[in-house]
Amino acid sequence: MIDSELVAEARQLLHDVNASLQLITGNLELLSMSDPQNEEQREMIASALEGAGDAVRYVRELQQKLRGQ
Amino acid sequence: MAAAARRILIIDDDRRVLQVFERVLERAGFDCVTASDPAKVLELLHTEPDIGVVLTDLQMPGIDGVQLMRQIRERFVSRPWLQLVVVTGNATLESAIDSLRLEATEYLQKPLAAADLVQVATRATTRAETLRLLNPKTGAAASVGDLKAVASLAGQIAGEMHGSEGAVPALGAANAEQLLRLIWQIQAVRREVFPEDRLPTASWEMLSELMSLELAGRRTSVGGLCLAASCPVTTALRRIEELVEMGLIAKEQDPADARRQHVRLTASGRTKMEQFLTRVANELGSA
């Protein structure tokens, strides 16, 4: 069993990470919707969104594990 | 009223998140009001009676989002159409239950994709618009424009289901009596498509929820569906079994979680819901 204060702190941190991820994914999506980019820029945005998507999954996984604590 | 109902109040203590949500929603045609200070929300709602949807964060300094929603429900009893949507960075079972008790219509986890945010806002504003129109106080003052908005809305839903633009003829002169007649017609269509003795209210609520989720490209579990019915969980579970026996819905095991079962409309259930919505659109259009 992990220390309950540590769990609470971790939950707060993950909450903040989710807010940061919202900024990253939200702005990337807005960027992809705005002025037409060239192929390379589109690929870069897609790749960044893919990376952010991975981060979202990792955070969800951690939150799921912490719910059991 | 159609334009007013698309007015959304967004609350988040992080101004940068507020800006993202506002930009996404305004691009989709919504009219947004933002608040980074939850203490100012009640005053804002007081001065902006056109707001139909409140989209709020939960963890904020000074006041918790659940407390804030409770204050909104207590202070604005006369606005039962107000839709509350929760978007949180830390989803918990407790806050989800608290939110549902306060009749929050959606409970979502950040980060939220732009398309999902727009879908949620569309559903919430649609509900707000319809409830506001059907509210006895505001409904009595419903204008021809209001009724046209409902007709157009039903037409859009039917059109969406048939993959085409729903063209519903404009309504003629309308007043409160006509509005009541339309409601009776809707109830008559429901009885015709789903005979009353075979379909209790809770079952109807769950079918509507499943149709709404299907249109939004989402799915739900048995537990989630029970929450959509305004009855005890044991009754809801019984109703789900009845709907399965009637061939209107089907349960499927979640391959990722052996404890969870998903629920969906069967082809027959979807056809009946389509018939219902199309008939309602026609009734409204020909009124």
Q: Count Cβ atoms below 10 Å from residue A1 Cβ, excluding itself.
A: 5
Give the contacts of B128 (CB within 8 A, at least 6 positions apart).
B5, B52, B53, B81, B82, B83
Cβ-based contacts under 8 A for chains A and B: 60
Per-residue pLDDT of chain A (69 residues; tens, 9 = 90+): 568 888 889 988 999 999 999 999 999 999 998 876 788 988 999 999 999 999 999 999 998 888 776
How many angstroms separate the CA of residue A12 from the nearest CA in chain B? Answer: 8
Q: Is residue B143 part of a domain?
A: no
Which stretches of chain B drop beneath a pLDDT of 70? 1-5, 134-185, 195-198, 216, 281-287
Chain A residues touching B20 at Cβ < 8 A: 22-23, 26-27, 30
pLDDT at B1: 41
**Sign of the CA dihedral with B184 first, then B121, A55, and B93 last:** negative
Of B136, B164, B194, which closes a domain?
Answer: B136
CATH number, residue B92? 3.40.50.2300
Q: Is residue B142 part of a domain?
A: no
Interface mutation vs chain B, best among A11, A16, A18, most B CBs within 10 Å: A18
The overall average pLDDT reported for chain B is 79
- Per the CB < 8 A criterion, the answer to whether B246 and B234 are in contact is no
The secondary structure of residue B40, as a DSSP letter, is G
Query: Is the peptide bond between B111 and the residue preceding it cis, with omega within 30 degrees of 0?
Result: yes
User: Which domain range does residue B14 map to?
Assistant: 2-136
- For chain A, the residue count is 69
Of B136, B164, B199, which closes a domain?
Answer: B136
Give the contacts of B56 (CB within 8 A, at least 6 positions apart).
B10, B11, B12, B38, B65, B68, B69, B84, B85, B86, B87
B200 and B113 inside one domain: no
B179 and B276 inside one domain: yes
| Alpha-carbon distances of A31 from A21, A35, B188, rounded to whole Å | 15, 8, 48
How many angstroms separate the CA of residue A40 from the nearest CA in chain B? Answer: 22
How many angstroms separate the CA of residue B114 from the nearest CA in chain A? Answer: 7
What SS3 state is found at B58? Answer: coil
CATH number, residue B178? 1.10.10.10
Judged by CB atoms within 8 Å, which residues 37-96 of B form the interface with A? Answer: 59, 88-93
Q: Is residue B141 part of a domain?
A: no
**Sign of the CA dihedral with B11 first, then B13, B14, and B19 last:** positive
Q: Is residue B149 part of a domain?
A: no
| Among chain A residues, CA nearest to B14 | A19
B282 and B254 inside one domain: yes
Interchain contact B111–A (C-beta under 8 A): yes
Chain B residues touching A22 at Cβ < 8 A: 17, 20, 89, 110-112
- The structural domain count of chain B equals 2
From the list B14, B27, B90, which residue is nearest A14 (CB)?
B90
Judged by CB atoms within 8 Å, which residues 17-46 of A form the interface with B? Answer: 17-19, 21-27, 29-30, 33
Is A30's CB within 8 Å of B20's CB? yes
Residue B244 structure tokens? 């399965």
B13 and B130 inside one domain: yes
B126 and B159 inside one domain: no
CA distance B106 to B117: 11
| Among chain B residues, CA nearest to A53 | B111
Give the CA count within 13 Å in the CB-facing half-sphere of B192: 11
How many angstroms separate the CA of residue A36 from the nearest CA in chain B? Answer: 16
How large is the ipTM? 0.89
From the list B93, B110, B113, which residue is nearest A19 (CB)?
B110
| Among chain A residues, CA nearest to B59 | A15
B160 and B121 inside one domain: no
Task: Please provide the distance, in angstroms rounded to a whole number, between the alpha carbons at the two ends of chain A.
Answer: 7
Chain B residues touching A24 at Cβ < 8 A: 111
B130 and B6 inside one domain: yes
- Per the CB < 8 A criterion, the answer to whether B217 and B180 are in contact is no
